Amino acid sequence: MEATSRPPDGPFGLLAELTYECPLHCPYCSNPLALADYREELTTAQWRRVLAEAAELGVLQLHLSGGEPLRRRDLVEIVHRAAERGLYTNLITSALGLSPRRAEQLRAAGLDHVQISVQADDPALSDRLAGTPSFERKTAAARLVKELGWPLTLNVVLHRHNIDRIDRVLALAEKLAADRVELANTQYYGWAWRNRRELLPSTDQLRRAEAVVRAARERLKGRMEIIYVLPDYHGRYPKPCMGGWGRRQLTVVPNGDVLPCPAAHALPLPRASVHEHSLAWIWERSPLFTRFRGTAWMPEPCRSCDRRELDFGGCRCQAFQLTGDAARTDPVCHLSPDHGIVVEAVRAAEEAVRADEGAVRADDDAVLPRGGVLTPRPHPSRPA
């Protein structure tokens, strides 16, 4: 099959990261470390233009995220403008700030769906991982979402400190009448990268979790959709980056930069910004979006691999994070010449998990996982 770099059709989804301000301090946050670079946020008028261009480009789904999108005072206006453009709108939120009044305003503006993050099923553990008391407000907001007739998705980022409670997390989702649950293993960028050694689960933990998910899917079939995203580091082959670099999705971050995926901030590539170009130009012609689109850019072993049109060489951000070269084969692939980096990271995690388990067994009163010291995500300052 001939290597290609042909521009695809228009993107299906737009992730609008409205602000990086957030009330939580999650140690697995994958947002950029240099938060000061994103203080100058797009204005309401600029977001209106972006939404209009997105609709013209063919975008169908708009995911409103951050940080915490509820921190934007113009969120209702943004939702209203998106609905006018015919975009299906999904609010991705910690739910801190989703008051009954704000929820009613968002519903009237045309919001279609709400996705609430949950750190764990246990209030104490959830609050510890979130870095602030939040569990009770999250569950209250989930009930409010259902009362107002929205579809509810619960999103749970999995790691060493909560993956063994996946059965209880699913029980919580069932209790809250969630329509959909996303169980996503941590992606190691930003603060999660700093905390990787303390977050990576063991192979045994993953094996137990997968068995629980299989049983729950069978039991809850037709009642609750369960999405389980396998962790990259324990896979044999890499996942396609966002369905392939610059193929289906784009991300607009608070300062107006446009990215092929949310983790591409750090890649040494020319930036693309809505301050300088239209979304159409960025999607079709910008060096950032065309650099790794298709298969023509691939080195060996990807170039001659039968899977090159399936996984597109894996994640470019992960390749850069682990090797310093975004054009390398994703090291999670067992065929990558750099696969040993991932093998060593998993081995270190196995040792750390065994140490954790030994510490908990030595203390019968232990309620929360011990683990190493997790560095919490700091609060960014509010833009002037």
Q: Is 333 annotated as a binding residue?
A: no
HEC string for the chain: CCCCCCCCCCCCEEEEECCCCCCCCCCCCCCCCCHHHHCCCCCHHHHHHHHHHHHHHCCCEEEEECCCHHHCCCHHHHHHHHHHCCCEEEEEECCCCCCHHHHHHHHHHCCCEEEEECCCCCHHHHHHHHCCCCHHHHHHHHHHHHHCCCCEEEEEEECCCCHHHHHHHHHHHHHCCCCEEEEEECCCCHHHHHCHHHHCCCHHHHHHHHHHHHHHHHHCCCCCEEEEECCHHHCCCCCCHHHCCCCCEEEECCCCEEECCCCHHHCCCCCCECCCCCHHHHHHHCHHHHCCCCCCCCCCCCCCCCCHHHHCCCCHHHHHHHHCCCCCCCCCCCCCCCHHHHHHHHHHHHHHHHHHHHHHHCCCCCCCCCCCCCCCCCCCCCCC
Is 261 annotated in a binding site? The answer is no
Residue 315 marked as a ligand binder: no
| Binding annotation for [4Fe-4S] cluster | 22, 26, 29
